């Protein structure tokens, strides 16, 4: 398997390389806390979509620098709003569901918006003690995405999901572990090594058995995709609403 690297444009990058059966996907925009641009959504969708065909047995996603991701780059997001299901962000969300090899995340620092909802699609999540998870959708006049309106209540219960989504509460590493959002807390200096070791261990196991187990764990893919589509339609309506426009304007004034 040959190492490869792909850049996702001048506004940011997604670095991709394959090693020891593992596809490493690195959010590579540390100067902006790895805030995601339209070009980065495309890079992420392509990286996940081609992982299996490239012979990878696992995918490991990380962020360069002290933050996993601050979520959407709002300026870029408003310049390239997702107008339909073909938008890069929705391509990426569907690629999360269709990925047929295990997805592992190594998370440190801020994990905002998609930085948290992405974890609901991961098979293993290793977190630094510095982790701060937050879903600020309602504060921006928006609604949940990535099927989090279905997956989060299923994982933590309706009452706790309400606190996280309606109050936009921030969760630290211990809270995230208690709720099942992360698999293990690892000292920051050991985070990348331990997460990569887990990804390599999975990639070394019998591939068909791993894929079948992943398929059984995500047997309700059609339901998850349907949730993404429902959320997407609502998200696009809210994005055009006066309250979302006001919330965004307020954000940029800070």
What CATH number should be reported for the domain holding residue 120?
3.90.226.10
In a domain, 83, yes or no: yes
How many distinct structural domains can be found in the chain? 1
Q: Mean per-residue pLDDT for 203-227?
A: 96
The pLDDT of residue 3:
40
Domain with 163, as residue range(s), is 14-253
Q: What percent of the chain has pLDDT over 90?
A: 86
Phi, psi of 141 (to 5 degrees): 75, 20
Please check the confidence at residue 208 and state whether its pLDDT lies above 50: yes
In a domain, 55, yes or no: yes
* CB-count exposure of residue 252 (10 Å: 0-12, 13-18, 19+): exposed
In a domain, 5, yes or no: no
* CB-count exposure of residue 215 (10 Å: 0-12, 13-18, 19+): exposed
Mean pLDDT of the chain: 93
Residue pLDDT, tens place only, 14-68? 999 999 999 999 999 999 999 999 999 999 999 999 999 999 999 999 999 999 9
In a domain, 8, yes or no: no
Q: Mean per-residue pLDDT for 239-254?
A: 89
In a domain, 4, yes or no: no
Lowest mean pLDDT among 11-20, 95-104, 190-199: 11-20
């Amino acid at each position: 398997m040959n190492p490869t690297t792909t850049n996702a444009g001048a506004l940011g990058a997604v670095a991709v390389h394959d090693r020891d059966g593992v596809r490493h996907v690195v959010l590579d925009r540390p100067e902006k806390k790895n805030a995601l641009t339209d070009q980065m959504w495309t890079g992420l969708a392509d990286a996940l979509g081609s992982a299996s065909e490239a012979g990878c047995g696992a995918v490991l996603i990380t962020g360069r620098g002290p933050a996993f991701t601050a979520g959407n780059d709002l300026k870029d997001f408003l310049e390239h709003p997702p107008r339909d299901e073909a938008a890069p962000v929705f391509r990426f969300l569907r690629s999360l569901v269709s990925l047929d090899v295990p997805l592992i995340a190594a998370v440190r620092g801020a994990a905002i918006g998609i930085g948290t909802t992405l974890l609901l699609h991961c098979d293993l999540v290793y977190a630094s003690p510095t982790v701060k998870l937050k879903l600020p959708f309602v504060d921006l006049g928006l609604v949940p995405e990535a099927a989090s309106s279905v997956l989060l209540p299923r994982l933590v219960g309706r009452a706790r999901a309400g606190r996280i989504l309606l109050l936009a509460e921030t969760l630290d590493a211990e809270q995230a572990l208690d709720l099942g959002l992360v698999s293990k807390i690892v000292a920051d200096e050991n985070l990348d090594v331990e997460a990569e070791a887990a990804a390599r261990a999975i990639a070394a196991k019998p591939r068909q058995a791993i894929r079948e187990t992943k398929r059984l764990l995500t047997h309700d893919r059609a339901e998850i995709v349907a949730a993404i589509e429902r959320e997407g339609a609502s998200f696009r309506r809210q994005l055009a609403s006066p309250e979302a426009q006001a919330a965004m304007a307020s954000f940029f004034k800070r």
